[in-house]
Amino acid sequence: MKSFTDIVQYRRAIRKYDQNFEFDPEVVTRALELSTLAPNSSNMQMWEIHRVRSPEMLKKAKVFCMEQNAAKTANELIIFATAPQKWKQRAEMNANVIRRAFAAKPNTPEHVFAYYEKDMPLLYSGEGLVEYKGVVGEQGNRLRKEDVRVILNKSVALAAMTFMYALSEAGYDSCPMEGFEEDQIKKLLGLPQEADVCMIVSCGKRLPEGVYGPRLRLDAKDVIKEH
Ligand SMILES: Cc1cc2nc3c(=O)[nH]c(=O)nc-3n(C[C@H](O)[C@H](O)[C@H](O)COP(=O)(O)O)c2cc1C
């Protein structure tokens, strides 16, 4: 079994995949399932993952990835998108779990249920500014629509990362991309206007020349600050 260190070290952004490799789509299926186990804000799971692999859809999606090398030879393209339109269903799902968990305790204070039945609807209903009381103190944070988009994109990015590491574990490769025409991709997949395409991840099996040079990173000591 590979160690997590091996998996992290193996993953590179790949710009050229092996067209002769016998690509097993089941590997992608398993990696995608694992990706949905990523941590996510309030467990609202406001994400949608679109797997593009049919030849005709792949052809179109690659064009909208600006024909860049990381997409051109990929066996599949995985589109990781936010799903702000799903807030009601997700809040209800969580609320139901909590209601069931506390069903046998009739004196449960209302605030236990408020998070998913009041706070989350307030935050995600898209009604503009939201005064949101943090757990730390009385000072409310003022959350704007843009903040909510950031919240959703953070979680989606973690799902994409989980997916890429799952592929690495199987000896498969990927490249995360933000170089794409978002409106065209959204149109192609039928995503609503309010959704963000957080990242598109190409996948396949690397060719040696698909790795553009040795890994370049800052010294850890210049990035990691101790306090
Ligand atoms: C959010 C994000 C967007 C990226 N967009 C692109 C892209 O559009 N095209 C591309 O070739 N690489 C893209 N990359 C890959 C980075 O260039 C790559 O991760 C970086 O150069 C470090 O190389 P490594 O991943 O091999 O360590 C992106 C990476 C991230 C995390």
How far is residue 81's CA from residue 193's CA, in Å, rounded to a whole number?
12
Residue nearest to atom 13 of ligand 1 (CA): 177
d(CA 27, CA 115): 37
Ligand 1 centroid, distance to 72 Cα (angstroms):
15
Are 81 and 8 found together in one domain? Answer: yes
The pTM of the full predicted model, rounded to 2 decimals, is 0.94
Residue 136, pLDDT score:
47
Q: How large is the average pLDDT for residues 37-51?
A: 98
The preferred substitution site among 66, 178, 180, 206 for testing ligand 1, maximizing ligand atoms within 8 Å of CB, is: 178
In residues, how long is the chain?
A: 227
Query: Does residue 151 lie within any of the structural domains?
Result: no
Specify the residue for token string 């039928």. 190
What is the C-alpha to C-alpha distance for residues 76 and 158, in angstroms, rounded to an integer?
19
Contact 197, 173 (CB under 8 A): no
Count CB atoms within 10 A of the CB of residue 212: 13
Asked if the structure places residue 193 within a domain, the reply is yes
> Which residue's CA lies nearest to atom 12 of ligand 1?
177
Average pLDDT, the chain: 93
- Total domains, the chain: 2
Ligand 1 pocket check for 204: Cβ under 6 Å: no
Please check whether residues 98 and 195 belong to one and the same domain.
no
Task: Give 137 Cα–ligand 1 centroid separation in angstroms.
Answer: 39
pLDDT of residue 76: 98
- How far is Cα 159 from Cα 174, in angstroms, rounded to an integer? 14
Q: Return the residue whose CA atom lies nearest to atom 21 of ligand 1.
A: 13
Domain assignment of residue 72, yes or no: yes
In a domain, 35, yes or no: yes
Kindly give the number of the ligand 1 atom that is closest to the alpha carbon of 14.
26
Range of the structural domain that residue 115 is part of: 87-146
User: Does 13 map to a domain?
Assistant: yes
CA–centroid distance, 80 to ligand 1, in Å, is: 15
Residues 69 and 21 in one domain: yes
175 lines ligand 1 (CB under 6 A): yes
Residues 214 and 204 in one domain: yes
Say if ligand 1 is within 6 A of residue 39 CB: no
Give 100-130 pLDDT, tens digit per residue: 999 888 888 888 898 899 888 888 886 645 6
Point out the domain boundary residue: 146, 168, 184.
Answer: 146
> Considering the chain, what percentage of its residues have pLDDT values greater than 70?
93
